[in-house]
Amino acid sequence: MHRELTTSLHAAAGRAFRAGILMAVICLPGGCAAPKAMPINWDLTPDAELNYSVLALDQSMRGNDVESACDAAEQLIKLDPQNQMLPEAAAWLMLIHENSAAAKLLKKATAKAPDSIPLHLLLAENFYYQGQADAALALLNDFIRLHPAAGQARQEMAILLLKMQRWQDADNAFAKLPEELKTPEMRLNHAQVLTKLKRHHEAVRQMRAAAQSAPHNADIQAGLIEALSAAGDIAGAHDAGKRFLQQSPDNAALRLRLMNIELQQGRAAAAKSMAMDAPKDSAFTIAAASLFLDYRHFEEADALLATLPGPPPPEDALIPLAVLDAELRHDPDMALRRLDALPPGNEQAAKAMMLRVHILSSAERWEETRETLEKACTLFPNDRQFPSILSHYHLLRSDTGKALDIANAYLDKHPD
């Protein structure tokens, strides 16, 4: 029973899910609270009226006054629908998750400014992030049909198709871009599509062209390395990374990617040498040690963490050190003390709690495991992994009723 419970809890505690969406929009600096936008004095000259509307919109945004900002934006649409403040206002609304207000503003603005690329691109983006990808695509298609020379719209449509995972359509859209629009970033996106289509050698060609145009761009160089790796050219990926690393020895992200390639190929010693040769930086050392832990190379991770300043060790090193205490030194009490040292509110608190569950269940300290899971469910009510594991815990102890109660309680709060 204990062995089954330990094995099942290990598997459950090891699972994690991650999700995330990144939206690049314009962000204005915040200011002090602004008064409500005053009604416009209709005796103003047209220029003064326009300036007033712009200032009213700017002040409302700085004061985070959504209602006044929308009122000022609507007035500005009437006066100057091409005004650059309108895309900024829409982007600000999207940034603060006022997507419905942004959509209303953008629909009115695009009706008055049918040739505005920024307004149409933002409206398409708004559609996409509200789950209306087909509407976003239709909008861009219509705009491109009426404005065939709108290169930025063509680029955005290709990227949208990539986001929608319509790989063949995305490939066609990227391939049809004029040469002057095939920037290194566009080639990187196209290579990602080609990789999904298993056309690895074409992806490599795209990335070689991108890398030649942007020899000092770390993201582009990393894309070349990944394309070569996906094509099975591990030696080529390694050589490309080495060359770029010689140019940019301080590029920690690229060094970590190269170390990952070495570890994938079972060359832990080479990865360790690469880590030890890096410029001294605690953040990189901790990230490199964590990479070794992912591959269960505990000795190498321990050697890296031993180079950190201290005691006490840096806060970010406490979790990897706790892993080593538990897995390498078989000292669960020391591992738990490491986790206790994390200050309240640490951004890795949920990860630390999951590690605590793993350590306690590995030591077959079942009551503490249950108590920790119950505490985690309270501290992280939106994290489904903790109620899932707690439900599994009770199920394995033949308490089906309790297991169902926990699962149903979570689903009642999170029906989606």
Asked whether 75 and 60 are in contact (CB, 8 A), the reply is no
End-to-end CA distance of the chain, in Å? 34
The rounded distance, in Å, linking the Cα atoms of 188 and 223 is 7
**All residues at 6 or more sequence positions from 295 whose CB lies less than 8 Å from its CB, including other chains:** 263, 268
Angstrom CA distances, 129 to 81, 103, 121, 201, stand at 24, 11, 12, 33
Q: Is the pLDDT of residue 19 over 60?
A: no
Residue 44 confidence (pLDDT): 67
CATH code, 32-128:
1.25.40.10
Coarse DSSP helix, strand, coil percentages of the chain, rounded to the nearest 5 percent: 70, 0, 30
Q: How confident is the model at residue 39 (pLDDT cuts 50, 70, 90)?
A: low
- Say how many residues make up the chain: 416
Per the structure block, which two tokens stand in for 132? 């209306």
Q: Is the pLDDT of residue 155 over 70?
A: yes
Q: How confident is the model at residue 411 (pLDDT cuts 50, 70, 90)?
A: confident
Per residue in 320-361, pLDDT tens? 999 999 999 999 999 999 999 998 888 899 999 999 999 999
Q: How confident is the model at residue 118 (pLDDT cuts 50, 70, 90)?
A: very high
Q: Is the pLDDT of residue 228 over 70?
A: yes
Per residue in 358-388, pLDDT tens? 999 999 999 999 999 999 999 998 888 999 9
CA angle 405, 410, 413 (to 5 degrees): 125
The rounded distance, in Å, linking the Cα atoms of 225 and 195 is 13
Q: Is the pLDDT of residue 8 over 60?
A: no
In this prediction the pTM is 0.63
The rounded distance, in Å, linking the Cα atoms of 49 and 73 is 13
Asked whether 362 and 6 are in contact (CB, 8 A), the reply is yes
Indicate the burial class of 60 (C-beta count within 10 angstroms; 0-12, 13-18, 19 or more): buried
Per residue in 60-78, pLDDT tens? 999 999 999 999 999 999 9
Asked whether 60 and 34 are in contact (CB, 8 A), the reply is yes
Q: What is the DSSP string of 175-212?
A: HTS-GGG--HHHHHHHHHHHHHTT-HHHHHHHHHHHHH
Sequence spans of domains, the chain:
32-128
Residue 235 confidence (pLDDT): 85
Q: Is the pLDDT of residue 40 over 80?
A: no
Asked whether 362 and 354 are in contact (CB, 8 A), the reply is no
Per residue in 256-299, pLDDT tens? 988 988 898 888 998 999 999 888 889 999 999 999 999 999 99
Q: Is the pLDDT of residue 25 over 80?
A: no
The rounded distance, in Å, linking the Cα atoms of 358 and 176 is 51
